[in-house]
Chains A and B, each alone.
Chain A
Amino acid sequence: MKTKTILMAASLVLASSAAYAAGWTGGDDLPTNPLACDATPGEVVAKPYDGGVPTNAPDRNGKKITVVDVPKLIGVGYFSATTKGQAEAAKELGNVDVKTDGPTKANIDEQITFIDNYVTSGVDGILFAANDPVAIAPVLKKALAAGINVVGYDANSTPDARQWFVNQAEFNGVAKSLVDNLAKEIGEDSAFAIVTSTFTTPNQARWIAEMAAYAAKCHPKLEFLETVEAQEDNVLSFNQATTLINKHGDKLKGIVGMTSVATPAAAEAVTQSGLCGKVAVVGLATPNAMKPYVEKDCVKSVVLWNPVDLGYAAMYVLRAAADGTLKPGDTSVKAGKLGELKVVNGSEILLGSPFVFDKSNIGQFDF
């Protein structure tokens, strides 16, 4: 009898949830700012500096500094690549001691504890990629109050919790790049689905929301089917992508992978289903994971920024902030071999435009 009640409850939940309106699942509800449909770059808004300021930071100009990098999680190829870039920059600079340490799962709880411990141990600088922009703010502010230089990359915190944020690309820029590539490969009125990590990952949620806004503006006939979650797990992403292919059959013309784990898994799903060339896979991924698919022409291009460059730039920015050569109000910063990087949105430093890996260049990269 009690079992029957539970079964009834289950079917109620099933019924009600099936009635949910189909927006672009997985996007967040923050305001969007889609770019123009042609190649007009977005307007660069000159904002006053809105980053945080360390309290009584000691003069670190030219001196050796210890820096810790706390990414979202360790043990994933993407952040191993940013670590590599940071190490490269540290070597060039010669007076930086940097190491990467972070949680083993993409969870704010642990990331905060890591940063907290490093604040206590008295590092000179902290690099971070936040699991949650608001949750990480208190501990970062604590770091600033202790005179530590704080620079973020990849995933931002609230602006006042860090001095600078190295942005790989604007959210709307990434969204435009992905949607344009998708429309180009599958056609203007085809259907596609999305594979993401989780709905609570801030960057992914932002991108999906921006993609929805941009598609509504510039590719209105593209049909969004659904979004599936697959954590950061390769095999689960593969299974989810294959299920999508099985469910929609011929209707599904493209899959968008929102993380560097989801995209290779989606490509694998397309390959194993024998649909290479018939179902396009577009997304963010590291070259190493995608080499097998790009070389077999299953995937035409992979959109990403260069995470090695991202880590490299972040390291240079931190050094400049610690030295005092990068001050609030500056409009650009020198970042070694990357040249001058522009300051946008008050306290963000733009890496540049997304990098496209394809068959011609993917072999040159090893991350």
Chain B
Amino acid sequence: MSVETATVRRSASTGFAARTFATYGQEFIILACIVVLFVAVGLIAPRFISPTNLTTIFVGNAYIAVAAIGMSMVIISGHIDVSVGSLIGVLATISGTLAVSGYPVWFAWLAPVIVGMVVTSFIGVLVAYVRIPSIVVTLGMLSILKGGLISVTGGAWITNLPPDYLIAQFRLFGIPSPVWFMIALTALAAMFMRYTAFGRSIYAIGGNGEAARVAGIPVERTTVTIFAIHGLFAGIAAVLFATQLQVIQSTVPPNLELTVITASVVGGVSILGGTGTVVGSTLAAILFAAIGSSLIFLNVSAYWLRAVQGLLILATVLADMARRHRIG
């Protein structure tokens, strides 16, 4: 609230640039970090910015950025989903199994998206109508999905995937499809969040649920829809995740939910709800991928890799907090 008032007062004298920076401050900082990282590491180890490595960084982590779009919406609305990692594991397995069982390729792509939406809508109903806190529901779902997946598959590898199913390996104008998905979906979601009434209602619910209700927003229905949209993105992320390689390991990717949440949160989405953008979370996902790759190029001792990553996450978070308080 105070950010808007401050910027309104200031914009009279300082104009467009300051206003944009105030709302998109964290996104600019992350973009700046990405640029600095690429330049600095690129000077030390030129192969870091070779086209093949850039492809690796972007493509290998595009699915995280896509999943973070949905997660950002959930977090902006004041909730959270810690089961997204297990969900993606389950959806990827469903997708792969359909593909090798002779179903048409488009069905193998579409089914996980629909199943994802069904599951997250169910979570949304429990959160919005039964009023169980989202962290509780998703904590429970995490166990249910993970246990269910292991029971059914036993971790069997899914092989013999039909080549025309491997959508993550297609290229359009020379750029791999996951990158297109990431950019297109981020842009669409960003415009949706900013320019549609529904998108703005997500911010409203996250900012102050009661005020939103009084203003006429159907909070419960909107919440379920938000979770459903989150499931849509999780489904797409799962398909990208599943088709990266020629085999699918039907397990839950470790720590995926933490990575996705961290990307959203470092990208400027406030866990208190009500602020942040999907552009920020996508940029943060790219930044983390770049950091991870750069640490290998910089010969950082493999034993200290995680410590350095943790330190950098902390530094980014503190920088964001410092920035917010300078403005507010």
Contacts and interface: CB of A to CB of B under 8 A. Distances in A.
Direct interface between A and B, CB < 8 A: yes
Interface of A: 2-3, 6-7, 9-10, 13-14, 17-18, 20, 25-26, 74-77, 79-80, 83, 104-105, 199, 226-229, 231-236, 238-240, 242-247, 249, 261, 264-265, 268, 271-273, 286, 288-289, 291-292
B246 A268 contact: yes
Contact of B247 (A7, A9, A268): A268
B184 interface: no
B14 interface: no
B20 interface: no
Given A13-B311, A235-B253, A3 B319 contact: yes
- Best-surrounded residue of A2, A3, A231, A264 (most CB of chain B within 10 A): A3
B155 interface: yes
Contacts of A26: 302
Contact of A288 (B146, B157, B314): B157
A273 B55 CA distance: 11
Nearest to A271: B246
A104 B150 CA distance: 8
A258 B319 CA distance: 39
Interface of B: 45, 47-48, 50, 52-53, 56, 60-61, 146-147, 149-150, 153-157, 159-160, 169, 241, 244-254, 293, 296-305, 307-308, 311-312, 314-315, 318-319, 322
8 contacts: A18-B301, A25-B301, A25-B302, A74-B155, A76-B249, A234-B247, A239-B56, A239-B61
Contacts of B159: 288-289, 291-292
Contacts of B311: 6, 9-10, 13
B308 A268 contact: no
A356 B48 CA distance: 36
Contacts of B153: 75
B209 to A, nearest CB: 33
A366 B316 CA distance: 48
Contacts of B245: 234-235, 238, 264-265, 268
A242 B297 contact: no
Given A14-B298, A83-B154, A246-B52, 17 more contacts: A13-B304, A18-B300, A26-B302, A75-B153, A76-B249, A104-B252, A199-B302, A226-B296, A233-B254, A236-B253, A238-B245, A239-B56, A242-B56, A243-B296, A244-B296, A247-B47, A265-B245
- A-B interface, 7 closest residue pairs, ranked by CB to CB distance from nearest: A75-B155, A246-B53, A17-B301, A234-B249, A20-B301, A239-B60, A17-B304
B131 to A, nearest CB: 30
A77 B157 contact: yes
Contacts of A231: 254
B315 A249 contact: no
A74 B253 contact: no
Contacts of A7: 315
Given A25-B302, A199-B303, A3 B254 contact: no
Nearest to B311: A10
A288 B160 CA distance: 10
Nearest to B146: A104
B36 to A, nearest CB: 11
DSSP class of A's interface residues: helix, strand, loop or mixed?
helix
A241 B193 CA distance: 37
A76 B149 CA distance: 12
Contacts of A243: 53, 56, 293, 296-297
Contacts of B47: 246-247, 249
A9 B47 CA distance: 26
B254 A80 contact: no
A25 B298 contact: no
Given A247-B296, A249-B47, A228 B60 contact: no
Nearest to B161: A292
B167 to A, nearest CB: 14
Nearest to B256: A233
A238 B48 CA distance: 17
Contacts of A272: 169
A292 B60 contact: no
Contacts of A14: 298, 300, 308
A76 B293 CA distance: 27
